[in-house]
Chain A
């Protein structure tokens, strides 16, 4: 018996004015898998992420998360259901320290976000959690540094740590390794593998080496259509995919 897909997209379409970015996308993401989402620039990958995470309304189609329709939910509500995303351009808080950044995420998870008094015990517990997460990612020495002083690689690592702090059931990673050196990218994917647990991941990436080594399945988007979803080996051999990438090394 096949496991219930944790995420189900059906007939997702979206246009910006005359530009049709997504033209009827269907996708079932299986619980616990790591799915790579690739495609040439302009294929609609980030728009798809925006729709899944609630930052963009589709023109039509359904979005089902854990069997429930989540289209009416705001991004914040989706986060509390376990649907978390990272961003392509880093949006951590530059004026806060590394640990303050993570603390923001942890407090959100622990429902401490809106307290207008300081509950000492709960806050210090949350701070402990943040510290553990940082240690796990190898960032505990950087914890008092201001986020704006971080290198690009550390920046992206922090981004992922914050997403993980929200204890996602489904994690959307938008180009997490963009601009990273081989070593830094390795560090990041190692972290993700360690904390995988029962978490499902969808990763947009342009570095095909990472995608092919890290992902269980790969979905290929081109010009708003999903042209293939299969194992890395099968995708590599797929002629339509090769045609779409024309000239890019697979």
Chain B
């Protein structure tokens, strides 16, 4: 628990300092961070770069929104809908890309994701097509006897923070379990793993499903940030942005997802109000990171923490 203290303090900060607008933004950052953490399972531990992750995340968002519109925005219901939808898409993608790696995996996930986007963009009756879904009821928690409204900014932020922590611990436990070790093995020496009797396709499928569950949790509450969800939530450019966040923060560190999301989204939101050239700046920072700090920001923090005498959780095997 001591190890998590800095993180918990960090997460509590906005609650104490921020106003409504900033809290909502912080909630969005945490939601995105959770999705990126799940992507890190794929990239950092599995060596699988997916351009279809937004499709998994966004499908959860759509499912959650549709469920809320139809059946009310009860938190457990909405989470269930999102997780199930995300896991299904993740499973389909895993089956599609079962025998592919490297560039082919990238393209197949891109193709899979874009098929999802085409559906979201064109199926007006279901998804509202290009206009997306609006009129989403505010989030609540139905406890039977009473009903807690969760629509306020602090409440939403709290939900997002809890989900982020849940996602982090799910990812961590996956990595520490035998399958996590097996996953890293398939990245490093796929041939050797096969020679040891490991079914790479099975490992991939389980990893994708795990990532789908975590991304699904995040995606479920995404529509409640702005009471809106649209096709951009499943487009490959969002997947690419998630990859940028993962790399910025540090691939293969899990926490890097959090850092990367904070950095990217802060720049995106705050810089774009000062200059039109925010994409150029983000691009430049990203390129700079890839060239100069390919392991991202997290290892830098890690070594700083070690320097300051904090016991570091053992650095896990990143890309």
Q: Which residues of A contact B (CB under 8 A)?
A: 53, 55, 74-77, 79-80, 84-87, 91-93, 95, 100, 104-105, 107-109, 112-118, 123, 162, 166
- With A93-B188, A117-B177 known to touch, is A108 a contact of B198 (CB < 8 Å)? yes
Asked whether B191 lies within 8 Å of A91 as measured between CB atoms, the reply is: yes
A84-B195, A107-B178, A113-B198 given; 5 more Cβ-contact pairs under 8 Å: A55-B195, A79-B194, A104-B182, A116-B174, A123-B178
In the complex, the answer to whether B189 meets A93 with C-beta atoms within 8 Å is: yes
A244 and B195 alpha carbons, distance in the complex (Å): 32
| CA gap between A176 and B182 in the complex, in Å | 25
Complex Cα distance, B185 from A117, in Å, reads: 17
B178 near A87 with CB under 8 A, answer no
A113 x B317 contact (CB < 8 A)? no
Interface residues of B: mostly helix, strand, loop or mixed?
helix
A115 touches which one: B177, B185, B194, B200 (CB < 8 A)?
B177
Q: Which of A79, A104, A166 contacts B181 (CB 8 A)?
A: A104
Number of residues on chain B facing chain A (CB within 8 A): 25
Segment of B19-27, B134-142, B202-210 engaged in the interface with chain A: B202-210
Contact at B176–A166, with CB atoms within 8 Å? Answer: no
Q: Can you show 30 pairs from A to B with CB atoms below 8 A apart?
A: A55-B191, A55-B194, A74-B199, A76-B194, A76-B197, A79-B194, A80-B197, A86-B195, A91-B189, A91-B192, A92-B192, A93-B185, A95-B317, A100-B181, A105-B196, A107-B181, A108-B196, A113-B179, A113-B197, A113-B198, A114-B178, A114-B203, A115-B177, A115-B179, A116-B173, A116-B174, A116-B178, A116-B179, A118-B173, A118-B177
- Write the B47-86 contact mask toward A (1 if CB under 8 angstroms, else 0): 0000000000000000000000000000000000000000
Q: How far is the CA of A95 from the CA of B317 in the complex (A)?
A: 8
Separation of A117 and B206 alpha carbons in the complex (Å): 12
Contact A76 B188 (CB under 8 A): no
| Residues of chain A lying within 8 A (CB to CB) of residue B176 | 118
